[in-house]
């Protein structure tokens, strides 16, 4: 697993656990020992300690997968509903205007007019083929912005799930400080995720327009149409 994916898998579950710890710490009526089966383990014994650490690592990995999958399903569902007012593939990963779709279609040398249902595949091909090979710096910038979006939005989901899980399963009271702080952080992360997503879509649109091999009308100020200087 590459470093970017490791970060995406680690941040959200750690934030989920940190939120639960905060809830435990603020609720005097809930005790952690009721929910952790470590009563029969001697943590001074090396094998028992290794077992606890291994279980904790696996839990973090599984949490990362569950939170990431849940986030993806929610985003795809929202994008699918948005097809009612945006013609496209119904995927949050690529959302382009009709003009940008045409530019992408031409840049990847596809014949005919763009097919809206193939917007996702065309956009991915444009980024990972055209930009990756010929404009790798732009591609890396897009990857960084998309990673920022992914980390922020999965962190939002992690905090929301921690509130729901902590209250419904563990029995943590939705005390004002715990829920208020978690929701405030969610708000900041949601704004960050939106800005990163918008930057990514705008950059893809800009690159599609910049690299569109279609005919560009000659400006009246171009050198070809500039008035000739009088001779002599």
Range in 85-99, 115-129, 200-214 with the lowest mean pLDDT: 85-99
Alpha helices (H) along the chain: 3-26, 46-81, 98-107, 119-125, 132-134, 136-165, 176-210
Mean of pLDDT over the chain: 80
Range in 20-29, 108-117, 190-199 with the lowest mean pLDDT: 20-29
pLDDT of residue 226: 47
Do residues 172 and 32 touch, judged by C-beta distance below 8 A? no
Give tens-digit pLDDT for 47-94. Answer: 443 444 445 566 778 888 899 999 999 999 998 887 776 656 788 999
> 5, 154, 146: which is closest to 66 by C-alpha?
154
pLDDT of residue 169: 74
pLDDT of residue 135: 94
Confidence of residue 5 (pLDDT cuts 50, 70, 90): low
Contacts 24+ apart (CB under 8 A), 143-148: 143/4, 145/196, 145/199, 145/200, 145/203, 146/196, 146/200, 147/4, 147/7, 147/8, 148/192, 148/193, 148/196
**Does position 129 have pLDDT exceeding 80, yes or no?**
yes
pLDDT of residue 86: 64
The model's pTM is 0.78
DSSP of 86-104, one letter per residue?
Answer: S-S-S-TT----HHHHHHH
Give the pLDDT mean for 187-202. Answer: 97
pLDDT of residue 198: 96
Do residues 156 and 193 touch, judged by C-beta distance below 8 A? yes
The whole-angstrom separation of Cα 45 and Cα 174 is: 37
Which of 47-51, 89-93, 110-114, 219-223 has the highest mean predicted lDDT (pLDDT)?
A: 110-114
pLDDT of residue 10: 84
Extract the tokens encoding 181.
Answer: 């702080």
């Amino acid at each position: 697993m590459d470093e970017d994916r490791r970060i995406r898998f680690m941040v959200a579950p750690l934030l989920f656990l940190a939120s639960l710890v905060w809830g435990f710490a603020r609720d005097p009526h809930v005790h952690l020992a009721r929910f952790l089966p470590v009563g029969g383990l001697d943590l001074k014994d090396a094998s028992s300690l290794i077992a606890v650490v291994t279980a904790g690592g696996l839990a973090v990995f599984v949490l990362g997968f569950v939170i990431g999958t849940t986030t993806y399903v929610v985003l795809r569902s929202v994008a699918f509903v948005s097809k009612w007012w945006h013609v496209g593939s119904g995927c949050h990963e690529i959302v382009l205007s009709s003009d940008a779709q045409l530019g992408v279609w031409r840049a990847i040398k596809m014949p005919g007019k763009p097919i809206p249902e193939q917007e996702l595949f065309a956009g991915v091909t444009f980024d990972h083929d055209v930009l990756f090979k010929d404009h790798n710096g732009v591609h890396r910038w897009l990857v960084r912005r998309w990673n920022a979006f992914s980390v922020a939005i999965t962190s939002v989901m992690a905090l929301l799930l921690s509130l729901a899980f902590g209250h419904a399963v563990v029995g943590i009271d939705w005390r004002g400080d715990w829920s208020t702080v978690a929701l405030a952080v969610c708000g900041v992360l949601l704004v960050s995720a939106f800005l990163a997503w918008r930057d990514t879509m705008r950059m893809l649109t800009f690159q599609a327009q910049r690299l569109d091999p279609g005919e560009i009308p000659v400006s009246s100020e171009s050198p070809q149409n500039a008035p000739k200087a009088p001779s002599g």
